[in-house]
Amino acid sequence: MRKPKTIECLYLDFDGFFASVMQQKYPSLRGKPVGVTSFAGTDRAAVIACSKEAKKAGCKNVMAIKDARAICPELILVPQEPDLYRRAHNSLLSEISAVLPIDAIKSIDELACRLDVAQQQNPQQVARQIKARIKKYIGQYITCSIGFAANRQLAKIACKQDKPDGVTIWQPDMVPKVLFSLSLDDIPGIGKNMEQRLHRAQIYNVEQLLNLPPKHMRKIWHSVNGERLWYALHGYDIHAQQSERGMFGHGRVLPPDARDIGSAKEIARLLLIKAARRLRRENYYASRLALWLAIENGGWGDNLKLPIVNDDKALLDGLDIIWSRAVKEIGRTRIFRLHITLMDISFANQRQLDIFLGDDIDRQKWEALSNAIDELNQKYSKTIISNGVWNPPKGGNVGGKISFTRIPSAQDFW
């Protein structure tokens, strides 16, 4: 396994991305504590993202509005604008690509790059060039923190050390000692459960962790991932394993006037159609539908086995079945949030129909209809035809809400 002799990777994290994009667009928000919410008009929700001014006052991302306001009474709440964030993301990528190629887009606000030989010799200049282009062509209120190290994992940790708008460079000879002052939860991949497991193994700090043999970390993690993390944190050139898509889904916090069982089902229907469109665009089929509802005093969830399908008709029929179960079990209680998920997915070219279902002809007809609807909507760049009434709820953003992990496409907002 190769151990680089110099820095080879850059990791970039935009500071308070969603809130800073709002500040860039709206001058009245600049320099003030800002919290981005799902929609206006309710306190029973969370601040999805907050500006650096709000963070300085003690607010955090995904904090209850009432708690955030108690900490920072001056907090300005603004409803999300997901399509604005998508367009800002694409514009920022364009400016960064003018300086160096982007190796991996990790989320809407994080990315990684590999440095060429000249860039390895002068990382400070690379950081200055990126920041200068963003300031000149995008705006000064969107800033980023940048980390440089021998591999992507170390660069990611480095970029968190001097936020906001900082630059951190860890040369290979600084590793692993430079990590010893960090907390265990500063290491990506170590959450609360893993930290408890480490404590049971008498590991209480990063220095103790990195002084373990790599095989011992594999044993603690119960997988090779522990050993891979050891090599990454010791500066070896180790790459993340390719992950495979496991599902398609959408979720949404419901507006206050849409929390009854009937309105919630209508939103679930729209979210399911959006998920089905994505399923087809990426040439997948699904054979399981899952529904989860956040209700008063808890939650309710269930799933339904389906034939291998991707057409709106089959999936909406499945929703009717699973929703009837929900009504029977939870009654007319209020629903605050819901998630629709298409699971057990497979590529279109791997589909094998069950001959005993006898639905080949019907499925082909409904699939052809769904594909024709997709093509028309694609042609006009909006939903002009849908299976059933298309009436998005207050706040819109059906299928195009804020997402830290998935980059929305333009189609998500049709």
Query: Which residues are identified as catalytic?
Result: 110
Query: If we measure between CA atoms, which residue out of 405, 351, 399, 407 comes closest to residue 377?
Result: 399
Residue 26 near residue 76 (C-beta atoms within 8 A): no
**Alpha-carbon span 93 to 377, nearest angstrom:** 27
List C-alpha distances in Å: 321 to 7, 181, 247.
56, 54, 20
Backbone CA torsion sign across 48, 33, 139, 125: negative
Tracing tokens 């639905």 back to the chain, one arrives at 359
Q: What is the 3 state secondary structure string of 87-132?
A: HHHHHHHHHHHCCCCCCEEEECCEEEEECCHHHHHCHHHHHHHHHH
Asked whether 307 and 317 are in contact (CB, 8 A), the reply is no
Is residue 278 a contact partner of residue 377, using CB atoms and an 8 Å limit? no
Are β-strands 298-309 and 284-295 bridged in parallel, bridged antiparallel, or unpaired? antiparallel
Q: How far is C-alpha 200 from the geometric centre of its chain's CA atoms?
A: 31
